Amino acid sequence: MRAIWKGSITFGLVNVPVKLYSATEEHDLQLHQVHDADGGRIRYQRKCEVCGKKVEFAHIDKAYDDGDQTVVLTGEDLEALPAERSREIEVLEFVPNEQIDPILFERSYYLEPDSKSPKAYVLLRRVLEETERTAIVRISLRQRTRLATMRVRDDVLLVQTIRWSDEVRAAEFDSLGDDVTVGKREMDLARSIVRDLEADFDPEQYVDEYQEQLHKLVEAKLEQGDALDTAATFGETDDDEGAEVIDLLEALQRSVEKRKGSGSDASEDSGGKPSGSKATGSKAAASDARSTAKRTAKSGAAAKKPAERKPAEKKPAAKKSTGTSTKAKTTATAASKRKSA
């Protein structure tokens, strides 16, 4: 990694020299724009509206326009600001860890000690761990004064820039003001689904499915060109049209029944190993109601498939009401007794 900033942490009279590194990186496949007619690369050029010439980035300044006048701010002007010249991470206060709302977080950076003796760095790290506190700090980074948090992650000090309070919008929705009644049965079923999906969070179990599919698409395009059959590459996708509409209670009930029916068999393959990540299981659980609701539409589509394919097994229709089934059995039993008499 390459350090993008050097300075020091100051709290009280203690000074801790540090280097700052980006803690995250993007894994997205890099794409560029082309002309659909001939595949030519589309590029954006910085041109001056006055002279019409292309301008190199080194000759570009910033400006503010208030509607009447334009004020040009050169690089020297911005560097002259006291906050920009500061090379300190100033600790403002130490707050309980749980008081930081995650909505405030922006970018994350690692801090590495930048001195022959890391004693002051280790001291700050240990005191943050033992007191279970997060430092609120101020740092000037990339021509902006930023508010940030500083905490410990894997024995390293981690700085996370956070938004200013006036940058967070208030969540005001009229629809949430309605008086909604949630029944006991609905709550019990929802709790059952939550209990079934309870786990300790492990981010390594989850993958970016879109990027994986995008890589697969690019590789297939390289091999097959425009003759690519996306249905054969990715498999047929379900059509949402014609899906059965079910209410919330029935969706919850079917979700619970489906998860009970799948049991542990769905999570293991022939070798006794998990067949997929928790991300796959979580996505399946989230779409239980929709998948169940589409059985009727899918069974109809299966009947139209070519004869060489094995027809899909018909599944028994879902019972709409336990009470109705019991009543029917009682009536049939009574009729049988009258006939034998």
* Same domain flag for 130 and 189: no
Report the alpha-carbon distance of residue 278 to residue 334 in Å, rounded. Answer: 50
Q: What is the pLDDT of residue 79?
A: 77
Sign of the CA dihedral 30, 35, 41, 42? Answer: negative
Q: What is the pLDDT of residue 320?
A: 41
Instruction: Quick: pLDDT tens for 2-48.
Output: 898 999 999 888 899 999 999 998 888 889 999 989 989 999 889 99
Measured N-to-C along each axis, helices 184-196 and 248-262 cross at an angle, to the nearest 10 degrees, of 30
Asked if residue 19 lies in contact with residue 4, where contact means CB atoms within 8 angstroms, the answer is no
* Within a domain: 147: yes
Asked if residue 134 lies in contact with residue 149, where contact means CB atoms within 8 angstroms, the answer is yes
Give the mean pLDDT of 238-249. Answer: 62
Q: What is the pLDDT of residue 339?
A: 44
Instruction: Quick: pLDDT tens for 115-150.
Output: 888 999 999 999 999 999 999 999 988 778 889 999
Give the mean pLDDT of 168-193. Answer: 88
Q: What is the pLDDT of residue 341?
A: 40
* Same domain flag for 101 and 157: yes
* Within a domain: 264: yes
* Within a domain: 296: yes
More confident residue, 172 or 282: 172
* Same domain flag for 83 and 159: yes
Closest C-alpha to 203, from 301, 279, 92: 279
Instruction: Quick: pLDDT tens for 42-100.
Output: 998 899 999 999 999 889 999 999 888 999 988 888 777 776 667 889 999 999 999 99
Q: What is the pLDDT of residue 78?
A: 79
Asked whether residue 335 carries a pLDDT value surpassing 70, the answer given is no
Q: What is the pLDDT of residue 84?
A: 61
* Within a domain: 258: yes
Q: What is the pLDDT of residue 272?
A: 42
* Same domain flag for 60 and 117: yes
Q: What is the pLDDT of residue 85?
A: 63
* Same domain flag for 255 and 130: no
Q: What is the pLDDT of residue 83?
A: 66
Under the banding of pLDDT at 50, 70 and 90, the label for residue 289 is: very low
For the chain, what is the domain count? 2
Q: Which of 27-31, 240-244, 306-310 has the lowest mean pLDDT?
A: 306-310
Give the mean pLDDT of 271-279. Answer: 42
* Same domain flag for 189 and 107: no
* Same domain flag for 113 and 254: no
* Same domain flag for 147 and 289: no
Q: What is the pLDDT of residue 63?
A: 93
Under the banding of pLDDT at 50, 70 and 90, the label for residue 153 is: very high
Q: Is the whole model's pTM more than 0.85, yes or no? A: no
* Same domain flag for 79 and 128: yes
Give the mean pLDDT of 236-255. Answer: 68
Structural domain range at position 99: 5-25+45-166
* Within a domain: 206: no
* Same domain flag for 187 and 144: no
* Within a domain: 218: no
Please state whether 59 falls in left (phi above 0), alpha (psi between -120 and 50) or beta.
alpha
More confident residue, 339 or 227: 227
* Same domain flag for 109 and 187: no
Alpha-helix residue ranges (DSSP H) falling in the chain: 75-79, 82-85, 119-131, 184-196, 209-224, 230-234, 248-262, 278-286, 288-293, 295-303, 322-340
Q: What is the pLDDT of residue 207?
A: 86
Looking at residue 152, which CATH number applies to its domain?
A: 2.40.290.10
Q: Which of 12-16, 221-225, 257-261 has the lowest mean pLDDT?
A: 257-261
* Same domain flag for 16 and 137: yes
* Within a domain: 211: no
* Within a domain: 235: no
